[in-house]
A = this chain, B = another copy of it.
Amino acid sequence: MLNPNVLVLKLQHGVALTKADREALDLSCARAQRERHRVDIIREGDEPDAVHLVLDGLACRYKTLSSGQRSIIAYLVPGDFCNHHGDVLGTMDHSIATLTACTIVQISYKTIEYLTANPRIARALWWATLVDESISREWLVNIGRRPAGQQLAHLFCELLVRLKTVGRAQHDSYRMPMTQDELGDSLGISTVHVNRVLQQLRQDELITLQDRMLQIPDVKRLAAFADFNPNYLHLKNRRAGHVAAASARALQDSGELVKERAVRMPLP
């Protein structure tokens, strides 16, 4: 198990948790498994008998079209659930695969039931599900309406924020292990075009990309270029008290990004 627990780190951005809550969540992540690079965790048509959670590494949701083409629907970073729907939906309508070696923990429905008897935890898991849905919606906008360069920039901004909330990114850089092929399958553009657009982003000094490390010289500038507004990630809890939270807040507070209204302060 990892310390600090990424699930706790993440959920604290949605709901204020007590020490006991955190310990309960932490405990339920005890029996993690290591998964290899590029393997399916769950396949379309499966009926998983436990909730899977990514503790380390990068995974993705994807669907395969009848043409054989792959469409990557979401990235799963540490703290993200693979199948938060439990047994309500029955069969999976898509697959989950690792993109790097991953640490995955399976949490039985029994344990989930026990955890969600606690209303704060129930609310936190509900929050996590809703944020995932919100991310899908933002991806729809991204893919539907933005040109390739801005799509990539937007994705990079999103990952910066999401990885920071779980302590997996520095203030302006993080490890970005996806291949250009995988980026293309995420944004619905060809590998060749990903390559060319990345070069353009580098030439414009919006990013640097070396040895799989993505560095963003001027986060505000990249965010402005991508029309990135982190509201949709709903990181509203400022009391999380972790470095990650502070960084996320810094980004959120950075003038240009927040357009709508002040982020709500939770109860003391």
Name A residues whose Cβ lies closer than 8 Å to a Cβ of B.
14, 44-45, 47, 61, 63, 65-67, 69, 71, 73-74, 85, 88-91, 93-94, 123, 126-127, 129-134, 136-141, 143-146, 187-188, 227, 231-232, 234, 236, 260-261, 264
Please indicate which of the listed interface residues A71, A137, A187 has the most CB atoms of chain B within 10 Å of its own CB. Answer: A137
Residue from the set A45, A47, A144, A260 with the largest chain B CB neighbour count within 10 Å? A144
Given contact pairs A85-B130, A133-B136, A145-B188, a sample of 4 additional A-B residue pairs in the complex whose CB atoms are under 8 Å apart: A45-B261, A71-B141, A93-B134, A140-B143
Q: Say whether A144 contacts B188, CB under 8 Å.
A: yes
The reply to whether B66 and A227 form a contact with Cβ atoms under 8 Å apart is yes
- Can you list 11 contacts pairing A with B, beta carbon distance less than 8 Å? A45-B261, A71-B145, A74-B137, A88-B126, A89-B127, A89-B131, A89-B234, A90-B236, A93-B137, A133-B133, A133-B136
A131 proximity list for chain B (CB < 8 A): 89
With A65-B227, A89-B127 known to touch, is A73 a contact of B188 (CB < 8 Å)? no
In whole angstroms, what is the CA distance A146 to B138 when docked?
A: 19
A234 with B93, Cβ < 8 A, contacts A88-B127, A260-B45 known: yes
- Nearest-CB distance from A135 to chain B (Å)? 9
Closest to A128 in B: B88
Q: Please, which residues of chain B bring their CB within 8 A of the CB of A232?
A: 93-94
- The residue in chain B whose Cβ has the minimal distance to the Cβ of A64 is B141
A140 touches B140 (CB 8 A): yes
Measured CA separation A136–B139 after assembly (Å):
9
Are A145 and B69 in contact (CB-based, < 8 A)? Answer: yes
Are B143 and A144 in contact, CB atoms less than 8 angstroms apart? yes
- Could you tell me the distance between the alpha carbons of A1 and B99 in the complex, rounded to whole angstroms? 50
A43 — nearest CB in chain B belongs to which residue? B260
> What is the distance, in angstroms, from A255's C-beta to the closest C-beta of chain B?
14
CA distance A133 to B187 in the complex (A): 18
CA distance A127 to B130 in the complex (A): 13
B141 lies within 8 A of A63 (CB): yes
Bound Cα distance A232, B63 (Å): 11
Q: Are B123 and A88 in contact, with the CB atoms below 8 A?
A: yes
Contacts of A187 in B (CB 8 A): 144
- For the complex, what is the distance from the CA of A14 to the CA of B67, rounded to whole Å? 30
Q: Which residues of B contact A71 (CB under 8 A)?
A: 140-141, 144-145
Q: Are A139 and B140 neighbours in the complex by a CB distance under 8 Å? A: yes
Chain B nearest Cβ from A228, distance in angstroms:
10
User: A130 near B89 (CB under 8 angstroms)?
Assistant: yes
Instruction: Output the nearest chain B residue to A233 by Cβ-Cβ distance.
Output: B93
A127 to B85, CA, bound (A): 8
